[in-house]
Amino acid sequence: MFAESGQSRPVCKLIQRNCRWKVPKCRVIAVLGTRPEAIKLALVIAEFRRRSEEFETAVIHTGQHRSMLDHALKIFKIKPDFDLDVMRPNQTLSSLTGRVLDTVENACHRFEPNIVLVQGDTTTAFASALAAYYCKISVGHIEAGLRSGDIYNPFPEEANRRLASVMTEIHFAPTALSRDNLLAEGVPAEKIVVTGNTVVDTLRALSDLPHSWEGTPLAGIPRDDGRRLVLVTSHRRESLGTDQQNMCLALKDLVKKHPDIRVIYPVHMNPNVRSTVNGLLQDTERIHLTEPLGYIDFVSLLRSCFLVLTDSGGIQEEAPTFRKPVLVLRKVTERPEASQFGMARIIGMSREAIVAEADRLLTDTDAYQDMSEGENPYGDGHSSERIVEAVSRWHQKKTPLLEADKQFKLPPRPHPRRRSSDLAPVAARAVSAGKE
Ligand code: UD1
Ligand code: UDP
């Protein structure tokens, strides 16, 4: 009764205010080092900074990538608090890991965070988690629980993310499937939050911006000659060499066979990728090799293309937003949701398979339509908010980390559109009925 009277309110407010003073700000480090980490962490960092009453946030840029990442940082207006400059030309995994470990540990000692957030499966993510663990600082793993089941595919990413899991305190699993992978490995359910993939947040925030190809590496590529655009990217270490060569030969076959397509291929900066791709594809008619694109340019290209061929993790997650069919240039994927939804196919790297699968989508309207239906199964644009809310609750020792109804749910599976061939008998019946 007394608590309901107006008199008690000022006292309650005073207590609440005092309580707020007593909870010190949560000190968060977000670590990024490669292009996809910057793209996927951009809105998470923005959300932490928006809630600056609760959080003190520092960004570490390990510098695993340089030009490809600095480009993304500029777009998202992220100024790293620590810039560690670890990249070397043609770097080895061991030397890279050592440099990240050393420099991130140093930054942790200086900033003294409550939690270190890492994203995905890169060497930056794994080695930063290890550095935090050595300093006995909690790790939050964003994009946790993806598994291909084969530690050499993709290499070294499958091992990197498994190793990161062992040291993680909060697992931000993008989908129910990734949560289930973690549960199967014995991770306690109360340490997992299903958030959706943050790449969809970034894509939604930027994809409506007006954009022109003028002044970008895409300038000069004809867009209005009626030809369909096939977007290609490839950079995985396990595919360097023969697989990359096969893929290049398949692209040559495809442009020869289909005079109505253009291939646009922004080439990754890894010198091993460049030597193969440039060596085999330079000066091929209707194959346009470009420098890596800025994110907004890339998204504009993704929007306007007909079909995507890629081994990229991030692009597999982005393409369904624009309902672009993806042929995945890998033997296995740790992101099976799009293929389960019928929006992607895992086709490997053989020349024959690439030509046959692309050929089918370029010639068979029904097959194409079947792959361009549905909502993006990876996220709904609210992943960053879920992550930051869960960190806030963790810091205040609240449970659960996020209520079940606030976690990300898969959209309904698409119903395949009625094929034109299915409709033909219906149309024929209608015509003959009209004649009777
Ligand atoms: C890395 C990640 C991979 C991620 C990919 C995203 C590891 C082991 N690999 O692969 O998981 O999918 O990034 O693109 O963490 N280079 C430049 N400038 C740059 C970036 C790279 O010159 O801005 C060149 C350098 O010679 C560098 C080489 O590319 O040594 C390879 O870079 P590295 O980060 O080791 O591997 P990626 O293949 O880029
Ligand atoms: N991307 C980009 N420019 C490019 C190619 C890709 O901005 O020329 C973006 C793409 O939209 C996606 C991310 O980079 O968000 C994927 O990076 P990458 O393929 O290098 O890494 P992965 O996702 O395979 O780890």
- Distance in angstroms (rounded) separating the CA atoms of residues 194 and 88: 36
Q: In the prediction, which pLDDT does 432 show?
A: 64
Question: For residue 165, which amino acid is it?
Answer: S
DSSP designation for 266: E
Residue with tokens 């992220």: 78
The Cα 109–Cα 116 span in angstroms is 12
To test the pocket of ligand 2, the residue of 315, 322, 328, 383 to mutate (highest count of ligand atoms within 8 Å of its CB) is: 315
CB of 68 shorter than 6 A to ligand 1? yes
Give residue 233's Cα distance to chain centre. Answer: 14
Which pLDDT score is estimated for 8? 38
- State the DSSP string of 379-394: --S-HHHHHHHHHHHH
- What pLDDT, on a 0 to 100 scale, did the predictor assign at position 415? 73
The residues spanned by each domain of the chain are 20-197+379-406, 228-370
Q: Cβ(284) to ligand 1 under 6 A? A: no
Q: What is the pLDDT of residue 110?
A: 97
**Protein residue closest via CA to atom 18 of ligand 2:** 312
- The CATH code that applies to domain 20-197+379-406 is 3.40.50.2000
Alpha helix stretches (DSSP H) within 53-197: 67-76, 93-111, 123-134, 157-166, 176-184
Choosing from 37, 47, 54, 121, the catalytic residue is: 121
Active site (annotated) includes residue 268: yes
Domain 228-370: CATH class, spelled out: alpha beta
**Which is the catalytic residue, given 171, 179, 235, 286?**
235
* pLDDT in the model for residue 84: 93
Task: Please give the sequence-ordered ranges of beta strands (E in DSSP) within 53-127, or none if there are none.
Answer: 55-61, 82-83, 115-119
> What CA–CA distance (Å, rounded) separates 41 from 29?
11
Distance CA 242, CA 72 (A): 31
Residue 24 Cβ inside 6 Å of ligand 1? The answer reads no
Closest-lying ligand 2 atom to the alpha carbon of residue 71: 7
pLDDT in tens, the chain (436 residues): 223 333 334 444 444 444 455 679 999 999 999 999 999 999 999 999 999 999 999 999 999 999 999 888 999 999 999 999 898 988 999 999 999 999 999 999 999 999 999 999 999 999 999 999 999 999 999 999 999 999 999 999 999 999 999 999 999 999 999 999 999 999 999 999 999 999 999 999 987 777 889 999 999 999 889 999 999 999 999 999 999 999 999 999 999 999 999 999 999 999 999 999 999 999 999 999 999 999 999 999 999 999 999 999 999 999 999 999 999 999 999 999 999 999 999 999 999 999 999 999 999 999 999 999 999 999 999 999 999 999 999 999 999 999 999 999 999 988 765 555 555 655 566 656 655 4
- pLDDT of amino acid 210: 74
Q: How far is the CA of 71 from the centre of ligand 2 (A)?
A: 12
3-class secondary structure, 173? strand
- Judge whether 287 and 252 are in contact, CB under 8 Å: yes
3-state secondary structure of 186: coil
| Sheet strand arrangement including 307-310 | 287-290, 261-266, 228-233, 307-310, 326-328, 344-346
Rounded to an integer, what distance in angstroms lies between the CA atom of residue 297 and that of residue 246? Answer: 27
Nearest to 119 by CA among 198, 205, 49: 198
Q: Say how far apart CA 257 and CA 236 lie, in whole Å.
A: 27
Tell me the longest C-alpha to C-alpha distance in the chain: 86
Of 121, 239, 244, 269, best ligand 1 pocket probe by most atoms within 8 Å of the beta carbon = 269
User: What are the backbone angles phi and psi of residue 82, rounded to the nearest 5°?
Assistant: -130, 125
Please, are residues 218 and 301 in contact by the beta-carbon 8 Å criterion? yes
Among this protein's residues, is 143 annotated catalytic? yes
**Same fold for the domain at 20-197+379-406 and the one at 228-370?**
yes
Pairing between strand 170-173 and 192-194?
Answer: parallel
- Closest residue by CA, ligand 1 atom 22: 269
